Structure 1
Amino acid sequence: MLSIGEFSKICRVSTKTLRYYDEIGLIKPDEINSETGYRYYSIKQLKNILFINRLKSYHFSLDEIKELKDIMELDKGQFEEILYSKLKLKKLEMENKLKSLEYSLNQLNNDISNIQNNIPIMSYLDNIKVELVDTEAMNILYVRKTMTKEDFFDGYGSYFGKLYERIALERLTPVGKPMTIYHNSEFNLDGNDLEFAIPIKETVDGTRILPGGLCAKSVLKGSFTELSALYIKLSEWVEENGYELTKSPYEVYIVNPNQVESSDELVTEVFFSIKKK
């Protein structure tokens, strides 16, 4: 048996962290001396620490790790399947974060270059074009959820995936690109009211009519991180030209983000439904 200090030294995890792991039930000492309260760990528990550290390096939370560990102790066969699925999801999350970081780095280099050439850092807003368009009413198959900004990308894949599954199973006819409608009156860090939708031909349970009408439209070619710039530009344009919003803004994804190698390939249309003041 190893004392908590010896165990800490071998696995390079502080005794404070080991005590916390014990508190939350992640890894408990094999033995606690009833008189002294000293904690002792077995050699075999070193593998458990390696497992925990490995998942932490993949950005699993302690709650996620404990859930997996509990499953492993109950059903090893089920554990392998669930672990495989969880690792695939983490891989996708990390790839998305890496793409976002690469985009930010390229953007930073571009801003540095612009400043060196006496080009204002916010001048890119002048290149965002806004046009007036008349849109047709659409019959949309939709699902409405409340989710945070961090959950959005996963939500994109999950909820649009479920909508396309239903379209395939019921042999429905898509007639437009997937879209997201934003129903919040303002951005909310705790969760935003979103509607994931796909225009279809048939009227079935779970469809509704998205009204058409006059819209201010702008197109983004590139990463979703630049969408806020489009929203700002559209808001300024609406105000400066004497219009006001009438319905929730929405985005149309001309290019599926799950089918591109670079965010530079993305094309997103943003629509503000408007009328004259």
Structure 2
Amino acid sequence: MSDKDHKGSGKKALLTIGEMARLFHMNIRTLRYYNELGILKPEYVNPDTNYRYYSTNQFERLNTIKYLRALDVPLEKISNFFDEKDVNTMLSIFMEQRESVLKKQKQLAQIEKKITNRIEQIETALSASYGQVIVKYLPQREIVLLEKKFTLADDLELLIRDLSKEHCLDDAIFLGKVGVSVSQQDLIEGQFTHFSSIFVVVEAEDGFKDKDNVLSEGSYATVQYRGTHEDASPYYTLLLNYLKDSGFQIKGDSVEITIIDAGMTNDYNKFVTELQIPFQ
């Protein structure tokens, strides 16, 4: 019997794989893949031509597959459902998938918050009045800290790797949140060439539980400028002169964070760093 005769015989005509794909708005490769997995085998395969044919009897099964895939149910679970086709099996799939969706929603909400934070940080840096002292009252910020003395001559990237390794940090949390500090004593003595620590600001959305230190809540004299850590010295002097002239006293180590650097742009002229010195 020819393919043509077989298609026209019997109570229900058969559809070629191409016709089936067009009818259900699918790719032929997908139907072939479903055949390989065993979740939707052709009704008839011509032994001479190896052409695959489907019948209307399979429409309900394919609709079920498409529905479950639209809910992002894995193919393995769909296959298991057909092995144990029962309303309780379907209910179990729905309940498991709902839990998966709720988990993804939580993850997406965290990602959205992190993106929003970065947008606000970058937009603020791009529109800042560079070189102008601004007093800010900043909330407590949780950090992961590596206390180690180093200078600008040291490789900061290696120190970041040390920090990451010591605390098993996800590298994805680093962008725009790595900071260094000059000790309070060095600030008082006007020495800005040595740092006392390197840290990462940890946000709630990072999901990191082993935070080991904080940047204290309080008043900070701050300044943003074009450049990186190598350009910080005159801006430290600017902040210290402001505090002295205003009758304020330094209350802790500095906070020095490069907000826009080589991780975001190749244009050095667009690099932005912020210095913060706590005072009372």
Both proteins in one fold, TM over 0.5: no
Shorter chain as denominator, the TM-score bin is: 0.3 to 0.5
Higher alpha-carbon Rg: 2
TM-score (structure 2 length as normaliser): 0.44
TM-score (structure 1 length as normaliser): 0.45
